[in-house]
Amino acid sequence: MIWEPVLAKFKELFGDEGEIGVYFAPGRVNMIGEHTDYNGGHVFPCALTIGTYGVARKRDDKKLRFYSMNFENLGVLESSVEGLKPEKEADWTNYPKGVMWAFGEKGMKVESGMDLVLFGNIPNGSGLSSSASVEVLTGFILRDMFGFDVTNQDLALIGQYSENKFNGVNCGIMDQFAIAMGKAGHAIFLDTATLKYEYAPIRLENAKIVISCSNKKRGLGDSKYNERRSECETALAELQKVVKINALGDLTEAQFEQYQDAITSPVCQKRAKHAVYENQRTIKAVEALQNNDVALFGKLMNDSHVSLRDDYEVTGIELDTLVEEAWKIDGVIGSRMTGAGFGGCTVSIVKDDAVDAFIEKVGTAYKNKIGYAADFYVVEIGDGPVKLA
């Protein structure tokens, strides 16, 4: 079991007395519907069987003792449940602390401390939402430990609230929702405007989902993300002068073509075009799956990448290389960047008998062009958070 060494680490650091719980929350990958979640559009993510393991025990006092096997150099980081606030020195513990703070803000004060050891087997900072995985995991642990009356959907909202308000990351609801509501073998077709959702089975006969991680170091990603959000807001405000909509996701392609001239800046026009078309593509992609048309689903994934590359301009040479090399390979049904972009990962649907060639060929071409290696994960779609022991 993957969690056994995590439990062993917990006992080594914090002793083995008392009631110790072992928990897991997945990471997620978004199959299609990128940069639509803050534009009132649809997304189509799924939870993965890789994610974050947590071993936790409630304390009698107010102390927090946190340790992550992914950040061993930082050792045990101590703080308190009193006066929770983000601190630079607190590093990664700002994520679990943010969730504790958010529970307090929602009227569920965390009155006592805990000892916690984490281990994640998803890459950090790569767009598979390790941060949301830690948030949902923390919320799930708090619910189990303190008996808070919250649903999994509430855990998603609390996680997003903490990431927005405590960690200052202006993310939409997709990541936490996909993780908290995950269901094995299914992706979640989520309308981010209403939070209405539907599970759609992903039946990939003779094919796998392969994630290619660019290993590109974080650059301007965060500031560009905020820039894209404000470009969409500008476009929306101008469109609202000529058509009654709440969000870009309310428009069909035909309506966008009719009204697009209301957007004065050509750049904002391109950004809005992506938001509108990507939302419609996501709706079509889910229909394609329902009709068992995986080939059409793959084509829509490819179109999504082109739109993110040319109109939304959030890809970059690393993600473009991974995707364009993937497109050359026989047996690749579809491939696109996933997550916010600028770095992070791509997601591809690859026929079983082409997976080895995919990893070999895309890996070699990437290393030759970019100068360092990409990592590949053949993933399975898993359930939401669970208590394992």
215: contact with ligand ADP by CB under 6 A? no
The residues pairing with 379 across neighbouring beta strands, listed in sequence order, are 209
Q: Is 335 helix (H, G, I), strand (E, B) or coil?
A: strand
The active-site residue out of 16, 60, 175, 352 is: 175
Say whether residue 279 binds Mg ion (CB under 5 A): no
Nearer to ligand ADP, 128 or 333 (CB): 128
Whether 222 sits among the annotated catalytic residues: the reply is no
Q: With contact defined as beta carbons under 8 Å apart, do 180 and 384 qualify?
A: yes
Neighbours of 50 (CB within 10 A): 22
268-273 long-range Cβ contacts below 8 angstroms, 24+ apart: 268/231, 268/232, 268/234, 268/235, 268/238, 269/235, 270/310, 270/311, 270/312, 270/313, 271/228, 271/231, 271/232, 271/235, 271/311, 271/312, 272/232, 272/235, 272/236, 272/239, 272/248, 273/307, 273/311
Span near ligand ADP by CB under 6 A; candidates 82-90, 120-128, 238-246, 290-298: 120-128
Encode 132-171: b = buried (16+ Cβ within 10 Å), e = exposed: bbbbbbbbbbbbebeebebebebbbbbbbbbbbebbebeb
198 is in an annotated binding site: no
Choose between 56 and 294: whose C-beta lies nearer to ligand ADP: 56
Does 92 bind ligand ADP (CB under 6 A)? Our answer is yes
Is 138 a binding residue for Mg ion by CB under 5 A? The answer is: no
Q: Is 131 near Mg ion (CB under 5 A)?
A: yes
Number of residues counted as binding ligand ADP (CB under 6 A): 17
Whichever of 227 and 293 has its CB closer to ligand ADP, that residue is 227
Q: Determine the Cα–Cα distance for residues 46 and 30; give it in Å rounded to an integer.
A: 6
* Contact map string, positions 282 to 321, toward ligand ADP, x by CB under 6 A: ----------------------------------------
- Residue 213 Cβ, how far from ligand ADP at the closest point, in Å? 10
176 is an interface residue for Mg ion by CB under 5 A: no
* Minimum distance from residue 70 beta carbon to ligand ADP (Å): 4
Which residues have a catalytic role annotated? 175
Binding site for Mg ion (CB under 5 A): 131
Binding site for ligand ADP (CB under 6 A): 52, 68, 70-71, 92, 95, 118, 120, 124-131, 134
